[in-house]
Amino acid sequence: MAMKLRMEVKKKTKKKKKKKVVIEMVMIEMIKKKFMMEMVLIEMMKKKFMMEMVLIEMMKKKKFMMEVVMIEMKKKKTKLMMKMIMIEMMKKKKIMIKMIMIEMMKKKFMMEMVMIEMKKK
């Protein structure tokens, strides 16, 4: 069960390259405009897994502090809802975006962390 789901996550992550580019571009726009904004991305996965990632950007003297905080994990029947806060880190024209996706298994509380790094000049 765990192995099958892990493979699905990896495959989906590799296939969705366009979304990564879009996310990156949106964040660059937010940096240029110098606003504090929120971007909510909702992705539906197989087997009734629902993942919600909230990306919150904060600006402070052209430097960004990055923290990944897992806020809520709720279980409703077969649906899993997850909310995470991602704060972007910027340093010398380089933007490092790390997105951590955490999967909760049904009753076993096993966690799998998948890290994605996107770098821009």
49-103 confidence digits (pLDDT tens):
333 333 333 333 333 333 333 333 444 443 343 333 333 333 333 333 333 333 3
Distance, CA of 59 to CA of 7 (rounded, Å): 36
Distance, CA of 28 to CA of 118 (rounded, Å): 12
Distance, CA of 84 to CA of 55 (rounded, Å): 8
Q: What is the DSSP letter of 105?
A: -
Find the distance separating the first CA and the last CA of the chain, reported in whole Å.
40
With cut-offs at 50, 70 and 90, classify the pLDDT of residue 17. low
pTM over 0.85: no
The angle at the Cα of 56, spanning 6 to 58, to the nearest 5 degrees, equals 135
Tokens of 54: 């909230």
β-pairing, 68-76 vs 79-86, is antiparallel
Element (H, E) at 40: strand 38-45
